[in-house]
Amino acid sequence: MNLSGLKPPKGQKHAPKRVGHGMGSGHGKTSGRGMKGQHSISGFRQKRGFEGGQMPLHRRLPKRGFTNIFKRQFAIVNVGTLARLEGDSFGPDQLLERGVVKKLGDGLKILGAGELTRAITVQAHQCSQAALAKIQQAGGKVEIIGGAQA
């Protein structure tokens, strides 16, 4: 048995419907489109979500919520994650290279989940109060990049 001998099961493949080839094609004068109506003409196309004139579902449902276009997306790293890493100095670029964060977005924010037992130096765009307290209690320090901490 080889690849050139493989064939689909009998009845799986069908010849395509050849429409618009006259009376002898088996699809007749109107090519299977019926007599009249919007579906019968050339170039017919319905818009996405069209429900035959009924009010579409996306217009029947109420609008909800709000999207803040000024929202800033920070890459989040917890203190416990930094404690597991080797080294004593961490910045956004080093964490990106190590794969700790996938993408930085608007910057790096340090949060306080986890425990820290050694002194580390962290450079971040924002740092929570809990994270700042844990890092300073362990003898480390936090450098805020380009702005005040939140």
pTM, two decimals, is 0.58
State which H helix or E strand residue 94 sits in. helix 92-98
Q: How far is CA 102 from CA 85, 108, 150, in A?
A: 16, 11, 22
Of the listed ranges 14-28, 46-60, 65-79, 105-119, the least confidently predicted one is 14-28
Q: What angle do CA 120, 123, 127 make, to 5 degrees?
A: 95
**Which among 146, 144, 141, 148 is positioned nearest to 82, based on CA atoms?**
141
Please state, in angstroms and rounded to a whole number, the distance separating the CA atoms of residues 126 and 112.
Answer: 12
Mean pLDDT of the chain: 92
- 78 φ/ψ angles, rounded to the nearest 5 degrees: -90, 160
**CB distance 131 to 114 below 8 Å:** no
**Amino acid of residue 4:** S
**Which among 119, 84, 116 is positioned nearest to 98, based on CA atoms?**
84
pLDDT (tens digit per residue) in 16-41: 989 899 998 899 899 999 999 989 99
- The full set of domains in the chain, from first to last, is 19-46 (no CATH), 75-144 (3.100.10.10)
| pLDDT reported for residue 54 | 96
| pLDDT reported for residue 150 | 44
Residues in a beta bridge with 109 = 76, 126
| pLDDT reported for residue 94 | 94
Higher pLDDT residue, 44 or 148? 44
Confidence band of 149 (pLDDT split at 50, 70, 90):
very low
Mean pLDDT of 7-13: 94
Adjacency order of strands within the sheet including 141-144: 89-90, 121-124, 141-144
Please state, in angstroms and rounded to a whole number, the distance separating the CA atoms of residues 126 and 119.
Answer: 19
pLDDT at 148 over 60: no
